[in-house]
Structure 1
Amino acid sequence: MSKTKNNLGKYVSFSTDWGFKYYFGREEYKLNLINFFNGLFEGQKVIKDLHYQSVEQDGELEHDRKAVFDLYCTGEDGEHFIIEMQQISQDFFKDRTVFYT
């Protein structure tokens, strides 16, 4: 009896801290991330380029760890704007938006 090899492959879950950083925090996936956002914006904004600014916090306990990426974007019209990506809930979201403005 021959053993069959599992051809399903491996995957990385977006819902884990490591997976989130793997897919969204690496320069080599920048074009995929730009395409993803441009699809979400449906033409209302078109990102031409983006730069990562990691504000990750490595806490001692799991609930203290945060993966947050500020993405500094340049639109096709030369406009500059920030997209914040995070995998945590945030109590003071309105305060952060005021800070950025």
Structure 2
Amino acid sequence: MGNIFKALALVAGVALSSQVGMASDMPDGAKIFSKKCKMCHAINKKKVGPAVASMNMDTNMLIETVTNGRKRMPKFGHKLSADEIQAVVAFIQSNHAE
């Protein structure tokens, strides 16, 4: 019976550590925003571009805009991976004013 508990504890430990490893592999949207977007966008005030808090929060529109640019905003599709763009969009959406 003791060996069963040890085996279950081992399996649970491996499963949890692999999930933590996967989570750390995700790009940091806040860090990417700070490096690539902050010069034109602030969270709560307009700069060159609109404030994050007042942006349209439609996921597809945000992905399209970051990827292909819009008006004066340059394209980032060739500078950022799809995962990095998703992370930036998630960061923008998490900072939206309700």
Q: TM-score, normalised by structure 1?
A: 0.29
Higher RCO (CA 8 Å, separation ≥ 6 residues): 2
Normalized per residue, which structure has more strand?
A: 1
Normalized per residue, which structure has more helix?
A: 2
Which structure has the larger Rg?
A: 2
Q: TM-score, normalised by structure 2?
A: 0.30
